[in-house]
Structure 1
Amino acid sequence: MTRRPISWALAVALAAAMPTVADPVPVAPDPGGKDAGPARPAASAGDAPAPEPQAAPGLGASYDRWFTDEALRVELYHVGGAHDEQYIFDRAVREPLWPGMRRALLDLTGYGKYRFRVQDLATGTTIFSQGYCTLFGEWQTTPEALESRQRRTFEESVRFPFPRAPVRLLLDRREDVPGPDGRGEFRELFRFDIDPASHLVARDPLDDRYVRLALHESGDPRERIDILILGDGYTAAEMEKYRRDARRFAAILLADPAFAPNRNLVNLWGLETPSRDSGPDEPRKGWYRDTVLGTTFNTFDSERYLTTSHDRALRETAAHAPYDTLYILVNTSRYGGGGIYNQWAIFPSDNEYDDYVFLHEFGHSFAGLADEYFDSATAYDEAFYPAGVEPWEPNITALLPGRPLKWQSLVAAGTPIPTPDDEAHAAVVGAFE
């Protein structure tokens, strides 16, 4: 597998967060869909590849036609084993604010192992889409999943602007069969219909104990990238420490060369969410803490993998502030972290490498960047991609015959491809094996 140097990661991350503007796309309407209840399964599309969202003419001026200013969170269970999976609907929740951009309704990047699409039920128009990855998808690659018949259930959710009319939500998974662009094709995994006017759509009240912090406010959340830094494992007595930590990391992000020129495009928020106990779980040490977001080391029994599987608690908490992307700042001095595309980035508060982990995990969660190191037990596993399939991540490639290098425009003329990993090429953009 060929990679490009990691130094460009955050610059790509910022660009990737600004998807190509696209209008909603009409497709053939589904007869009978108008009678949908608040949420019900709909017929599967079978094994046919799921259609790709396509850019329509114009500049996406139809947000107000399809959506209100609020958000709809659909809570799900992702269930299965190493070689099978399904989604189960739990509930739909109305959130008070959709802070996302109003013109980029369709995700045209093609990033993510999974993707969800939202269709207007009456017309079949695809009005929103987004790629993402999941903790379940990572678990499927672990020895626990592969070497046993173990099956597991993970909490997940998808979130999009609150629709004005009934919609169909479609969930797709990327398969190992290459599509026209060389990347694995998406195939529909599950679909169900939601009536936003139903009394069964929850309207949970916000918790007035949570205090929002404006760490860096540059403008209207609807016109900015909103980054929310939540704290976990901070007790009520440690809230001042959380405020100091959150401000320190906000300053680190804004000082990064990728963000410094674009600081006026970014809002950074914090939220005071006191936990009963201090610090995260550390199962290998027998330490279990009662915290708001349930962060834990030793995910999948990996020493440094710091994550949370408590998606319900995470999303209910995050709904108290505008956010397009989430950070979880964990009150610990231990080295570790995690980042999952369009889910969250998790990092420690007080480790000597915390600034590096903070930026590194953001590359995973914010723009779907793959790891590029190869001298660690957690290094990128080439078995994730079978021969003949181009990785979807923007910073690695299989260099398939007849296909251009993804980042060719950044490579200086005369640079050898593949690029030697030596001192002479240490400071150039290339394609390193």
Structure 2
Amino acid sequence: MNTTRRFFLRNGALALAGTTALPAFLTRAVMAATMEATAQGKKLVVIFQRGAADGLNIVVPWREPNYYTMRPTIAIPQKQVIDLDGFFGLHPAMASFQPLFAQGHLAIVHATGSPDHTRSHFDAQDYMESGTPGIKSTTDGWLNRALQAEDLRRAKLREAALQSSPFRAIALSPDVPRTLAGKVPALALSNVQDFAVGGRGPKPAPAATAFEAMYDESSDSLLHSAGDTSFEAIKMLRATDPAHYSPTPDANYPDSPFAKNMKQVAQLLKANLGVEAAFTDVTGWDTHQNQGGAEGQLANRLRDFSDSIAAFWRDMGPESENITLVTMSEFGRTARQNGTGGTDHGHANAMFILGGNVRGGKVYGKWPGVADEQLNEGRDLAITTDYRQVLGEVVSKTIGAQNLDLTFPGARLNSRQFLGIV
């Protein structure tokens, strides 16, 4: 058979991609929206800023004199910083975040990141998504393990098997990300408005016909099981009429790929499909040259980033009270600008946490300072909060993943280390 199970299976997960064909033999009824995740009501959204975002120009320590000394042409002028607390401020392109912070929905953790010192994008992203910094042999992702930990807690409390939606864990991306790889099935959707079962590489023609033939001819129980789940997902999503989704009137999404993904995350969350965990990413943060200050390359990326998330928040309306959103990037950037008006690979960074149960309006974490003698290796913002402390608190307080040893093996986390964000 030319078409292999890689057509729809990868990383122990399923993928949905774009074609409108629907298998004729798809007759199973749409699963009722009474899944455990829906009943519990808590949903986690994770955003990965790929490329190492410059935390010092995103959440600006504008009271630090050395910040301006080290960044003579790219530092954000004090008069243009959006002041948060008299010491930290937002980049002026992130004006849409200011009301979320003021209303207490948005929290920030500064000087956070992975304790591993690699400056490789590939390794740092892999370590951060696996949740095991410095260990390359980990095969699954921290968010998948968090869902596994949740299942163990539920089984212990109820001593019964739980039915899960095929949309329990989703990624708005062509492939299932490292973060969601693992035992718990996850779906990768490129586009919720135009889809069927697809896979990596060129789209089959027609994909549904090829998939139906493969499904019918195979005697592989794993293939049939995954096929059943795929078809269930297709039927469920089709029933929501995704082509006619309209955001709420005040949700003004930018015209960008990231904004499109955030709008589709909102669509899936509001469709009562049993989504518990959603992931997407946004690129364009590797600003080695011509980074810009209050305007320029980074400012454009930040405007899209913050406006898209703010639109998502407004789009969710009252349902935003049950959502927690967290952002992360593999590492920060050097404290000093380089000779080409940019910044190089650094260490600590800033994370945003947005949600109905978030204790926002505050910048969390111990500030290490940016005086020359306070810098990591004499060049970077030092890490004072392990990013796993932040994620550990988020997953234990939202989706109930209280077994932190399972979620973040080797981190030795406990609730006493939480910052009190959620």
Structure of greater relative contact order (alpha carbons < 8 Å, 6+ residues apart): 2
TM over 0.5: no
TM-score by length of 2: 0.27
- TM-score in terms of structure 1 length: 0.27
Higher strand share: 1
Larger helix proportion of the pair: 2
